[in-house]
Structure 1
Amino acid sequence: MSDPKQKSIALPLLVIAGTAATIAVNWLAAAGLVNGVTPDAVSDRYQTILTPAGYAFAIWSVIYAGLIAFSIYQILPSVRDRYPGVRQLYLATCVLNCIWILLWHHYMVAACLAVIAALAAVLVIIVARLSDRDSLAGALMTKAVFGIYAGWVTCATLVNMSIALVDQGFEIGPTAWVVIGVVSILLAGGAAVAVRLKFNNYLYPIAVAWAVTAIAVKQSGNTPIVVAAAVAAVTGLITAGSVVTKLRDSSSEADRG
């Protein structure tokens, strides 16, 4: 007969293993050890109207630091029995993240788009499943981490879409590209508002604001793109404006519960 304690720790341990594997694969990719290229080298091959300034990718350091923090937090005895559904979905994101890296480094752009869209969808489901009623530590280690991750990957999906259009050789004129860029940025802004209002996640809009601002910096000479990015970024920041208050309120509600 299996030991219930062993059962309860198995999934949390898998989460730690999944995080370690994901970070390892991404480190190997950044070091140019996956198909002999770096992510930047692949990205430079597909410059589009939605390509962000290079500094934007620094957010991955924040995301991976957050995932490490989540992985450690979720194995603590006091929370080990919580987040079972989130853990399973998180393991799926680890697999999708690694698959995306492998496909990206082999220039399989269309397949990359499908995988990153799936990754974004799973991350939004995780955001939806995380409860408002949590301690301050719980909110920071779960809602904040996955809000940033989901917001960034949502925007990355739109960038991948534009890259797929280039890769497939579609003949798109400059005006049409501007329309695609503006619509994509406004969709990202709309997603930021929707996730904030529907799931009360205040960090998702901040990640979206970060991404679209970096697009505006890269496309600084393109007025429609800059204006669309400004609208999306300001909207995201306004909707995220009470993040500190919300996290404090979540903590207070949990303490009273």
Structure 2
Amino acid sequence: MSKFNRLPVYYLALFIVMIIINFIASGDVSDVANKYDTLIQPSGYAFSIWGVIYLGLLFWIIRMLVVKNSRDKIQISLQWIPALNFVLNSIWIIVFTQEWLFASVLVIVTLWLTIIWMYLEVNRHDYHWLDRLPLSLYLGWITLAMVVNVFTWLEQMGVTFTAPFDETLVTTLTLGVVAIIIVLFTVKTRDWVIPLVALWTYIAIIAHGDIADYGNTVFYVVLFFSNFIFAIAAFSNYLVSKEHYFEYRKSLF
């Protein structure tokens, strides 16, 4: 077995460690998030997407163990980046639950960069759609989680937003910029999954109870961008279907 064929085994081992740490500390993560509650914080149900992401990543690793040939090129291209990603994910849980929030921002930004790297590397190859789907879910969620993490850190630091740039306006502008970036990225990559993850998160922000305390401005702005992202996702999906994106000649395994 070559070193590249062994890589998925290492991925799987570190993935299992990450899952164990997540399982142990999941309640503490929620406690910290609730302690430093912000306007941009999504409703609790949104975090259930982690289950889908982890199942997708597990399936992604298993495919690497089972499927050869074209998958080997992706493994060689990715090298140790997935392993680093799983380590960073575990570290983030530790530093966040310890309320080292500035450190958690640094870690999640680095984590996000490794996902970007993996996503773009897979995109460079003649990939099966299942090679990209878990990374799309992961990237979409971490992109927005990173933004929330920054706001959580600012809340811990006691940063106050004053007129005209109060918290409502800053949150609105942030959500608007993030939506534009997601749309542009979607058009470039023709990825319909990332916008749907963003839609899921934006709706969860709307559902967050504290949003009523800040009037209707943020509610309607977030709702607008949610619908906008959904429309882009549908359009992207149409383009992908039109070009027979799912009609690969490769088998599932």
Same structural fold, with TM-score higher than 0.5 when normalized by the shorter chain:
yes
Q: Of the candidates 65, 68, 72, which is equivalent to residue 81 of structure 1?
A: 72
Count of residue pairs the alignment pairs up: 242
- Whole-angstrom distance in 2 between the partners of 1:204 and 1:86: 21
CA shift digits 1:115-152 (9 cap, x unpaired) = 112212221232222237756xx312x21111111111
Q: Alpha carbons of 1:77 and 1:149: their partners in 2 closer, same or farther (altered >3 Å)?
A: closer
CA shift digits 1:6-42 (9 cap, x unpaired) = 3232111111112111111101112x5xxxxx21111
Helix, strand or coil at the partner of 1:198: helix
Aligned to 1:229: 222
Q: How does 1:145-156 map to 2 (within 5 A)?
A: 145-156=134-145
Residue 130 (1) aligns with residue 122 (2) = yes
Contact between 1:11 and 1:87, CA under 8 Å: does it hold in 2? Answer: yes
Q: What is the identity percentage for the equivalent residue pairs of Structure 1 and Structure 2?
A: 23
Contact between 2:41 and 2:205, CA under 8 Å: does it hold in 1? Answer: yes
Please report how far the alpha carbon of residue 225 of structure 1 lies from its aligned counterpart in structure 2 after TM superposition: 1.5
Single out whichever of 79-88 and 113-122 deviates more from structure 2.
Answer: 79-88
- Cα RMSD (Å) of the superposition? 2.2
Aligned to 2:31: 41
Q: Alpha carbons of 1:81 and 1:100: their partners in 2 closer, same or farther (altered >3 Å)?
A: same
Aligned to 1:171: 160
Q: Alpha carbons of 1:133 and 1:118: their partners in 2 closer, same or farther (altered >3 Å)?
A: closer
Contact between 1:127 and 1:146, CA under 8 Å: does it hold in 2? Answer: yes
Helix, strand or coil at the partner of 2:249: helix
Amino acid at match of 1:74: M
Amino acid at match of 2:5: I
Amino acid at match of 1:167: Q
Aligned to 2:44: 54
- Whole-angstrom distance in 1 between the partners of 2:185 and 2:114: 14
Contact between 1:12 and 1:87, CA under 8 Å: does it hold in 2? Answer: no
Contact between 1:117 and 1:157, CA under 8 Å: does it hold in 2? Answer: yes
Single out whichever of 209-218 and 116-125 deviates more from structure 2.
Answer: 116-125
- Whole-angstrom distance in 2 between the partners of 1:228 and 1:196: 20
Amino acid at match of 2:249: D
Contact between 1:151 and 1:205, CA under 8 Å: does it hold in 2? Answer: yes
- Whole-angstrom distance in 2 between the partners of 1:118 and 1:232: 27
Aligned to 1:249: 244
Q: Alpha carbons of 1:195 and 1:109: their partners in 2 closer, same or farther (altered >3 Å)?
A: same
Q: Alpha carbons of 1:127 and 1:77: their partners in 2 closer, same or farther (altered >3 Å)?
A: closer
Amino acid at match of 1:83: I
Helix, strand or coil at the partner of 1:97: helix
Unaligned runs of at least 5 residues, structure 2: none
Query: TM-score, length-normalised on structure 1?
Result: 0.86
Aligned to 1:188: 178
Moved over 4 A (4+): 132-135
- Whole-angstrom distance in 2 between the partners of 1:66 and 1:77: 16
Q: Alpha carbons of 1:223 and 1:125: their partners in 2 closer, same or farther (altered >3 Å)?
A: farther
Q: Alpha carbons of 1:106 and 1:113: their partners in 2 closer, same or farther (altered >3 Å)?
A: same
Helix, strand or coil at the partner of 1:75: helix
